[in-house]
Structure 1
Amino acid sequence: MIKTFKRVMHNRTLMMNNFAAVFYFLGYMPYWIFLPKYIETQYRQSASASSLITGSMGLVFSAVGILLSGIVISKYKPKARSLAAWNVLVGFISVSGIISYAYLGCSDMDNKIPLLPNGDSSSE
Structure 2
Amino acid sequence: MAMPFEARYRVYWHHTDGAGIAHFSRILAIVEQAEEDFYASKGLLHVHGRLPRREVYASFLYPLRRGDEVLVRIWADEVRRRAVRYRFEILNLTAGRKAAEGHVVAVCVDSEGGELKAVECPQEFVEAWKEA
Question: What TM-score does the superposition give when structure 2 sets the normalisation length?
Answer: 0.21
**Higher Rg:** 1
Larger proportion of helix: 1
Question: What TM-score does the superposition give when structure 1 sets the normalisation length?
Answer: 0.22
Larger proportion of strand: 2
Higher RCO (C-alpha under 8 Å, 6+ residues apart): 2
